Amino acid sequence: MNVTSSARTVPAPVPGILAMILGFCLAWAVCAHIPRLLYVDNFPVYRRQQLPAYAIFDPARADEPKYAFVGSSYIINDWVANDLDRGGWPEIEDPQSSYAATAELVADEEFGVSGLGFYDMGRPGPGFLDHIWYIDHALRAKNLKTIIYANGQSGMYHFEPNPYADVDRACLEALFILDGWTKRFPKSAGIITQYMDLIRSSGAYARGLDRFGKNWRDRLDPDSVLLMDRPLWVLREKLKGHRNDASGLSFRGNPHLAVNKPSEIRDALVWRLSWLARLDGPEQRRRTLELLDTAAHFYGDPRLDAPVQLNPPVSPFSGEEAQADILWTRMIAEVLQEAGVRLVWFFPPEVSIPPAQYEAVYKPGVVDPVRAIITPMGHVVSDHVVDHGLNQRDFLVQQSTDPPYSYGYKPSSIGKLKAVRLLLADMSRAGVLPGAHARGASCWPGEAGLPAVKMCVRPFTPSGPGACLPWPRGNP
């Protein structure tokens, strides 16, 4: 008897595989467009859990005098303290411990100026090229008064490949922005064009063209100025095992906003909803004070006297990329002058550069060149690298290391409170904070109960900590 087969059946696994592929493609598509959908309202800082910097674009705040913190982790961070009660001494982090949140509290309570808005606009890692992106977006805010800029030694670079930034992409995004600046700021068009020519002559620009193609502008969202990678290029980088910023932060390689995994989509939605009832006014300041109390809980612990890994100072304005660094600084100063926005270049307190190295290398190699370029245009330098009065316990200890040590530049909530006072005092003297005057009383009641700490910065070495270094304004 002949048995004829009925209609062919599809093997059971095939529908499941097709559903997985379809789901993957759908998730990828959602990830690719979330930044565009949410961008205008939610400014992409380092993590969505950070301060809602999108509020700088809120039409209801159009008349509010605005001060934007732009830069790297030296000024964009939310460190509170080391949790010394837990193994590994993990870092406690909270958005209300940022420089921006602290500055808003201190400006009102200690300097007598209220109604000002301070905002974080940046992320740890990027160098000068990426900071153009953040400065451009800050300039879109209504009634922007001042950009407070800070960049640490690790962020003073331009075109060299870096594990924390995507310089190839940044070259193209910067060119798009700068092309618009030549029209928006015609008096500064000459130096902008010089800087654009320098970008086009770099190896990073050539790599960017090879990666994104000559028609790269077609892949760029003009509103957010985010350049999307070609999917096949990203897949190839993933298969090669590359874990740089371009291929590792997200499947699209977006250096500004990495929303690519289901957990991150979940977090984006959760924080989107929480922002509708975000902390504001008294609640916001109460939280900042609570975090200072948290840091004070550990302040008397001698484990925070760990030796410091000294950071050999660099001289970016006389190194291989000196021309780019000088042009960038002059261009930003001229653009902001034309825009009617003051630039305050802040050199925050740290204990990783000893006074002797500061005087011999860092001051003549970094601080003095910046001052010579920007102050003739009416801008301000606030330099407190070594002259600050902070001690070693005002900085976090590197977690999970044996023996423990401190990087010497990651301030706790208490360290940021002290640093912000120095910054605002300089801004007040320079007329950047009209009507401000230091009242002399602390905004934080718990400060009076802090234990006295002797200033003792001991260099970290493989053979053990060295002796205390001499330091100006150190405690006896």
* CA–CA distance, 461 with 24 (Å, rounded to integer): 49
Q: Has this prediction a pTM greater than 0.85? A: no
Task: Tell which residue, 353, 379, 279, 364, has the closest CA to residue 50.
Answer: 279
Give the pLDDT score at 274: 43
Rounded Cα distance between 249 and 46, Å, is 12
Please indicate, yes or no, if residue 2 is contained in any of the structural domains.
no
Cβ-Cβ contacts under 8 Å for 373 (sequence gap 6 or more): 326, 329, 330, 333
Q: How far apart are CA 406 and CA 419, in angstroms?
A: 18
For Cα atoms 367, 74, 260, give the angle at the middle one, nearest 5 degrees. 140
Query: Does residue 172 fall inside a structural domain?
Result: yes
* Residue 476 counted as domain residue: no
For 147, list phi and psi in degrees, rounded to 5: -110, 120
CA distance readout (Å), 239 to 230, 247, 251, 311, 362: 15, 10, 12, 36, 42
Q: What is the pLDDT of residue 298?
A: 97
Structural domain boundaries, residue 352: 17-436
pLDDT score of 272? 44
Pairwise CA distance, residues 459 & 465, whole Å:
6
Q: What is the pLDDT of residue 263?
A: 38
Q: Which residues pair with 411 in a beta bridge?
A: 395
Average pLDDT for runs of 10 along the chain of length 476: 49 71 66 36 35 66 92 87 94 89 95 92 81 91 96 83 84 96 98 97 94 89 77 67 41 32 41 44 86 97 95 82 95 98 97 94 94 98 96 93 90 97 97 89 96 95 90 64
Beta strands in 22-168 (DSSP E): 66-71, 79-82, 91-93, 117-122, 144-150
CA distances in angstroms from 427 to 147, 373, 379, 432, listed in the order given: 11, 18, 10, 5
Please give the single-letter amino acid code of residue 372. A
Contacts of 270 (CB under 8 A, 6+ apart): none
pLDDT at residue number 28? 55
Number of domains in the chain: 1
Are 174 and 307 in contact by the 8 Å Cβ rule? The answer is no
200 found inside a domain? yes
What pLDDT, in 10s, does the model give residues 97-143? 999 999 999 999 999 999 999 988 877 777 899 899 889 989 999 99
Instruction: Give the tens place of pLDDT for each residue, 283-335.
Output: 888 989 999 999 999 999 999 999 999 988 788 888 789 999 999 999 999 99
